[in-house]
C-alpha cells in the first residue's frame, strides 16, 4: 500500500510539473532547424532634404516642390516608400 501511494505521488508530481521551472533544454545531440527565409527588404537611407536640391531635381523628390526658385517642403522619408521604384527615385534612399 505504501509503495502504491509513493508511486501515485511521484506520478502526480511528474504529471503536474513545476510551472515556475525553466523549459527543458533539448538533447545535446538534437538540432533545431529554423528557416528564416530571405532577409526582409525595404527602403532605407536618409532622403535628401528639399533645401539641398536645385530647381531641376526638386520636383523629382517626393514631398518637395519649387517655391519660386527655391526647393521647399519636406522630403518623403525613405522608410515610408514601399516599392523599389519609388525608393530608388528618392535621392538619398536605397532598396535593401
Pick the more confident residue, 1 or 57.
57
Give pLDDT, residue 84.
96
Give pLDDT, residue 43.
97
Give pLDDT, residue 40.
72
- 58-59-64-70 Cα dihedral, nearest 10 degrees: 50
Give pLDDT, residue 6.
46
Question: Using 50, 70 and 90 to split pLDDT, how confident is the model at 23?
Answer: low
Q: Per residue in 36-74, pLDDT tens?
A: 666 678 999 999 999 999 999 999 999 999 999 999 999
Give pLDDT, residue 32.
57
The number of beta carbons lying within 10 Å of the beta carbon of residue 33 is 4
Nearest Cα residue to 71 out of 52, 86, 46:
52
Query: DSSP readout, 46-92?
Result: -PPPGGG--HHHHTTSTTEEEETTEEEE-PPPGGG--SHHHHHHSTT
Q: 0.75 cut: is pTM over it?
A: no
Place of cell 525553466: 22
Enumerate the β-bridge partners of residue 95.
43
Amino acid at each position: 500500500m505504501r509503495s502504491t501511494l509513493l508511486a501515485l505521488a511521484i506520478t502526480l508530481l511528474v504529471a503536474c510539473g513545476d510551472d515556475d521551472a525553466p523549459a527543458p533544454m533539448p538533447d545535446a545531440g538534437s538540432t533545431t532547424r529554423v528557416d528564416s527565409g530571405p532577409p526582409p527588404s525595404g527602403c532605407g537611407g536618409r532622403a535628401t532634404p528639399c533645401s539641398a536640391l536645385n530647381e531641376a531635381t526638386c520636383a523629382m523628390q517626393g514631398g518637395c516642390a519649387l517655391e519660386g526658385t527655391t526647393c521647399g517642403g519636406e522630403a518623403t522619408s525613405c522608410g515610408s516608400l514601399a516599392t523599389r521604384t519609388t525608393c530608388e527615385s528618392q535621392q538619398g534612399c536605397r532598396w535593401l
